[in-house]
Amino acid sequence: MTEKLYWKDQRMREFSAVVLKSGEDGVVLDRTAFYPRGGGQPADTGLLKQNGSTFSVENVEKKGDEVIHVLSDGELPNTGETVQGAIDWGRRYSHMRYHTAIHILDGIVTQRHNDEGTLTGGQIYQDRARIDFDMSDLSREKVQELIDEANEVIGSGLKVYSKEISSDEALSIPNISRTLPGRELLEKLESIRIVVIEGLDEQADGGTHVSNTTEVGKIVFSKLQSKGKRNKRLEFVLEDDNPHG
Ligand SMILES: [Zn+2]
């Protein structure tokens, strides 16, 4: 089992850990700050160091209770010994800003435009994000309105934080998970991690987020595509006024 340091402290950039397994499939540590791909957020990349050798982490995947660090070809670190880990913070911080931006837009649609449609998915990149809507009447003007509302929320400086609650408590909160597989998962787990944007949104989520909405910067509309009658795909970028946290 890998202890999830990326949940304990979402801003942890460096850490030390013990190597539990080391092989061609990847490296498993007793704890890690490397975020494994999931929930629309890409994996972290970065470095592991041991006894003067440096290993490059190219991908991170979750498998059951373990987090697998996939290294570039070459040497492997020794099992049973300590490694120093360092994540590529610039990349991760972008992912955090984009992830929180998606939740802000999701919160606005869920709270204020619930009768018009819903968000059905999202994908984060280092320099942009896209979200899918199930909304029949989503014009460019409507999108700009939603983005204007989101930017107002960003500027109002709401706190963003995570907490663990019981599955029963989670299931009693409306919209805590907005997809059917998500709700099914909630019933299986004993404790659920919730990401809260104070006064706007709370949902079951495994991602990493900034701690105040002002860190997101400014959402700028870049593209709107139609993916069928009701399905629309929006792409946006963040103005980079706070690029390093
Ligand atoms: Zn999320």
Measure 103 CA to ligand 1 centroid, in angstroms: 6
Measure 242 CA to ligand 1 centroid, in angstroms: 21
**How far apart are the C-alpha atoms of 71 and 188, rounded to whole Å?**
32
Give the pLDDT confidence score for residue 188 in this predicted structure.
81
Closest to 122 in 3D by CA, of 91, 99, 92: 99
- Tell me 126's DSSP state: S
Measure 96 CA to ligand 1 centroid, in angstroms: 10
CB contact burial 117-153 (16+ within 10 A = b; e otherwise): bbbbebbbeeebbbbbbbbeebeeebbeebbebbbeb
Measure 215 CA to ligand 1 centroid, in angstroms: 16
Give the pLDDT confidence score for residue 242 in this predicted structure.
57
Give the pLDDT confidence score for residue 172 in this predicted structure.
87
Measure 213 CA to ligand 1 centroid, in angstroms: 14
Measure 208 CA to ligand 1 centroid, in angstroms: 8
Measure 157 CA to ligand 1 centroid, in angstroms: 19
Measure 185 CA to ligand 1 centroid, in angstroms: 15
Measure 145 CA to ligand 1 centroid, in angstroms: 22
Measure 38 CA to ligand 1 centroid, in angstroms: 9
The answer to whether residue 178 scores a pLDDT higher than 80 is no
CA angle 126, 131, 134 (to 5 degrees): 175
What confidence tens digit (pLDDT) does each residue in 186-220 have?
A: 788 888 999 999 999 999 999 999 999 999 999 99
The rounded mean pLDDT for the chain is 93
Give the pLDDT confidence score for residue 219 in this predicted structure.
97
Measure 147 CA to ligand 1 centroid, in angstroms: 18
Closest to 18 in 3D by CA, of 27, 9, 26, 10: 27
Q: What is the pTM of this model?
A: 0.94
Is 195:205 a contact under the CB 8 Å cutoff? yes
Is 236:222 a contact under the CB 8 Å cutoff? yes
Measure 36 CA to ligand 1 centroid, in angstroms: 14
Measure 74 CA to ligand 1 centroid, in angstroms: 34
Least confident range of 45-54, 125-134, 206-215, 225-234: 225-234
Measure 177 CA to ligand 1 centroid, in angstroms: 10
> Where do the domains of the chain lie, and which CATH numbers do they carry?
3-87 (2.40.30.130), 92-239 (3.30.980.10)
Measure 102 CA to ligand 1 centroid, in angstroms: 7
Measure 22 CA to ligand 1 centroid, in angstroms: 30
Measure 117 CA to ligand 1 centroid, in angstroms: 18
**Bridge partners, residue 76, by sequence:** none
